[in-house]
Amino acid sequence: MPNRSDPYKIAIFGPGDVGCVVIREAARLPEFQIVGALVFQEKKDGVDIGTLAGIAELGVKATRDLGKFLAIPCDAVVHTALDAPFINTLEDFKKLLEAGKNVVTCHPYSYLPARSSEFAQTIKAAALKGQATFYGGGLNPDFITQRLAILLTGLSNDVQRIKIEEYFDCEDQTNTGNLQVIGLGSDPQKAQDENGSAIWYQKHFWFQMIEHIAYELGVKIDRIEATSKCAPAPEDIVRPAMTIKKGQTGIVSYESIGYVNDKPFISILIGWYQSPIMKPAHVKSETEWILTIEGRPSSRTVLDLKASFASDAKHVEGEPMPPGYHAFGVTLLQSVPMVVEAKPGFKAPDVPPVHWKKDQRVNVASCYTEQ
């Protein structure tokens, strides 16, 4: 691709915590320009986008009017709005793509075989109509599961087990509703509601990533099981977003396990906890990923995210969000040029071409794509 001299123009669909990270990082760099934002709260309508993100004004106002938003000339829309069982996210994607907007979403719609035929056909038809590209990226999906975990299998033969663990300290979070949805502050004796949003996220998001990893490795998953665990706080935990009383849930984890021949093969565990006193003993940092691969030989990779390893700073200068959210926004922003330059249609994550496979003669130097 030839080099480009003008900035990539970006509009944000739902600038919450992660979307505002994208705004702040884009505003720092000459290669990006924020040109619009769609908001959902009346108090944010007409507010300068820089003000929404806590930085200097950018001279562009946010809007609640979808029609006006779709009329904004831009290279890509970064979609960071809430996804939930009660939201028709597919309809939003359809409207954006049909309007000719390249879409980078933070949600794991990155492996269409794990989605319904309706979802897959709608995305591909809308992208074709608008001559636009759709991409699901971020930390997880994309970076941790589809790129890093698969890359690390390249150190082993005869892979027997892949375990991905993510741990996140929520003490600096400001969205009380999100913390309650995942189960923090709840009664530990009560099982998570099978019809609730937290279990929906687990099955709707992480199951797909297990299926994608298995495809790339040439392994057939027999079934995927979902489990959750929680533990009570030993004392009251008082934080800006919520107060957790002694005995209420201070840590909750959700694990999705893909089985091969009735043995666990791939698992993804996401653990959220409130304050350092609830951090699991084997976890060293506030935000940490642990990737363990049993094979010939075995490996364990620990990825820590910090504001700095040269100081005790908790936040990067000028960035109020913790490093996990910060990195999440960065991965989305860095996806924009690739998505803009890609051909119209569905764009899957670029999996490393060299890694372990059940049979190295199959799909050599290639990965999942959609025609």
Which burial class, exposed, middle or buried, applies to 92 when counting CB atoms under 10 A from its CB (0-12, 13-18, 19+)?
buried
Q: Mean pLDDT score of the chain, rounded to an integer?
A: 95
* pLDDT given at position 1: 62
Residue 172: which pLDDT band, with cuts at 50, 70 and 90?
Answer: confident
Tens of pLDDT, residue by residue over 242-283, are: 999 999 999 999 999 999 999 999 999 999 999 999 999 999
Q: What CATH number belongs to 8-136+339-347?
A: 3.40.50.720
DSSP SS3 for 87: coil
Residue 174, pLDDT above cutoff 90: no
Task: Give the helix/strand (H/E) hosting 197.
Answer: helix 197-201
Residue 191: which pLDDT band, with cuts at 50, 70 and 90?
Answer: low
* pLDDT given at position 11: 99
* pLDDT given at position 193: 67
Tens of pLDDT, residue by residue over 310-322, are: 999 989 999 999 9
Q: What is the C-alpha separation between 271 and 198, in angstroms, rounded?
A: 12
DSSP SS3 for 357: coil
Tens of pLDDT, residue by residue over 308-363, are: 999 999 899 999 999 999 999 999 999 999 999 999 999 999 999 999 999 999 99
* pLDDT given at position 19: 97
Domain residue extents for the chain:
8-136+339-347, 141-304
Mean pLDDT across 50-67: 98
Q: Which residue has the higher pLDDT, 85 or 30?
A: 30
- Topology (CATH level 3) of domain 141-304: Dihydrodipicolinate Reductase; domain 2 (3.30.360)
Specify whether the CB–CB gap between 155 and 122 falls below 8 A.
no
Q: Are strands 243-244 and 237-238 parallel, antiparallel or unpaired?
A: antiparallel
141-304 shares the fold of 8-136+339-347: no
The answer to which of 138-147, 186-195, 196-205, 244-253 has the lowest mean pLDDT is: 186-195
Mean pLDDT across 1-11: 90
